[in-house]
Chains A and B, each alone.
Chain A
């Protein structure tokens, strides 16, 4: 499993990175941050494409074409009658197997965790998961995010993997993406034309698909300042404690008017139970304005369960996932409530 051929561009400023992105956009280009997802994806046999057998041409018995290099070799043969299918295959594989990677590792402005003057939290896109897990700031006020960071991949994945990478890959189970939606994170998307701010909940459009424009780079995530009496929590349910993709992930953020309620804001985000992370809207209708207690949380959890759209797969059945959404939502509402009461 050797990496396919590509060139790596190493910009020294964000502006240079954006220029490179524009320059090579038509040749297949990907942004490289930690590499824990991208370099794995590039190693996979790249979209196998079936090329039909070509009569009267012994050299091309037909079969599966796995990589750009294979396609180029085949196409270079003058007798390649199956050229049409091959050319399509080449185009497909170029989309997956880029010619250029733009590595962001020199861009210091994309690294780091800081508190803005208005109290919100600013995390640069190439900040590693490890730095987030070790940050006392994050753990104190944006606990759900710290709990996502604690449980992502393995220590080695956390050492390299980045917040921006986890979000931009937009996997429905992503352990940073789900709490980011739960905490109402705002994504900063930069292009040469300027920047735009997009709520994280509007970012994913399908598994691995996002609304990011081809010439944009995700540069930071901004988490709004927590109000008094607010708390959050995230739980990753998985078969193992490390090196695992969640079966269900639930993130809850809760804000109270006073230590005993009523509830003034609540956000419940669900992971791995739909094509994208889901913001459970029904939680709001039941919880807002109410005084928190166990029967209320139970009722809310039953409603949240209906917002999940899980499927059966090897990690768990849809039935199991629905049950776990309900159970975890109830449990995490309680935990977030206990934390909210304490945070003046």
Chain B
């Protein structure tokens, strides 16, 4: 039996009837059409499906939609404001931190949380923070460099 939940996604309030076994990932991609969030392994190993739930980086594949009833969710679509990439997104582009791009939405969400918590993380802190997001293309170096560029700046915007 479907259950009614309400949640806020990227600042927009939604009310949806969901099947109990529906994951947050399926809700975002299939019910709301927000396909920026990717499905990778589906078992919490790769981090491709990372979104922010009440500001905390969360596997959307291992979170049931019912569990986020009343929560505020941010996805990669929410990082772009008025068609302009966030500073972090632009840094990823500038540093070639994107190759196939599949891990990128998850990397961006995890890193957005890190930079909100800690404006100037050290390299080791960056590497630890993204240790749950797998990338098979870049070898992580370019991703770390992109994040460092944002971390160095005094501009508080991420």
Q: Which A residues have a C-beta under 8 Å from some C-beta of B?
A: 1, 3-8, 10, 32, 35-36, 39-40, 43, 101, 103, 105, 130, 153-157, 159-160, 241-243
Contact = CB atoms under 8 A, between A and B. Distances in A.
A184 to B, nearest CB: 30
B58 A156 contact: yes
B118 interface: no
B151 interface: no
B21 A105 contact: no
B57 interface: yes
Given A3-B21, A5-B21, A155-B132, A40 B44 contact: yes
Contact of B131 (A8, A36, A159, A241): A241
B21 A154 contact: no
Given A7-B1, A40-B44, A35 B131 contact: no
A101 B132 CA distance: 26
Contacts, number: 78
In the complex, which of the residues A36, A40, A154 has the most CB atoms of chain B within 10 Å of its own CB atom? A154
B129 interface: yes
Nearest to B63: A35
Contact of B64 (A4, A35, A241, A243): A35
Contacts of B149: none
B132 A35 contact: no
A134 to B, nearest CB: 10
Given A8-B64, A242-B132, A156 B50 contact: yes
B92 interface: no
A105 B5 CA distance: 14
Given A36-B62, A160-B63, 4 more contacts: A8-B3, A39-B23, A156-B50, A243-B45
Interface residues of B, number: 27
Contact of B20 (A7, A36, A130, A159): A7
Task: Across the A-B interface, give the 5 residue pairs with the lowest CB-CB distance, nearest first.
Answer: A154-B132, A242-B131, A8-B20, A156-B132, A3-B21
In the complex, which of the residues B23, B42, B62, B69 has the most CB atoms of chain A within 10 Å of its own CB atom? B62
A160 B62 contact: yes
A155 B42 contact: no
B66 A6 contact: no
Interface in B9-48: 20-21, 23, 42-45, 47
B62 A154 contact: no
A242 B63 CA distance: 21
30 contacts: A1-B43, A3-B21, A4-B21, A5-B21, A6-B20, A8-B66, A10-B66, A10-B69, A36-B44, A36-B59, A36-B62, A39-B23, A39-B44, A39-B62, A39-B64, A40-B43, A40-B44, A43-B42, A43-B43, A101-B20, A103-B64, A154-B132, A155-B129, A155-B132, A156-B44, A156-B132, A160-B59, A241-B131, A243-B131, A243-B132
A3 B62 contact: no
Interface string B44-82: 110100100000111100111011010000000000000
B110 interface: yes
In the complex, which of the residues A4, A6, A10, A130 has the most CB atoms of chain B within 10 Å of its own CB atom? A10
Contacts of B133: 156
Contacts of A160: 58-59, 62-63
Contact of A156 (B42, B64, B66, B110): B110
A159 B57 contact: yes
Contact of A103 (B45, B47, B59, B66): B66
B47 to A, nearest CB: 6
B128 interface: yes
Contacts of A103: 64, 66-67
Given A153-B132, A155-B110, A6 B21 contact: yes
B54 to A, nearest CB: 11
In the complex, which of the residues B1, B3, B44 has the most CB atoms of chain A within 10 Å of its own CB atom? B44
Nearest to B45: A243
B4 to A, nearest CB: 12
Contacts of A10: 66, 69
Given A153-B132, A242-B132, A40 B62 contact: yes
A242 B3 CA distance: 36
B49 to A, nearest CB: 9
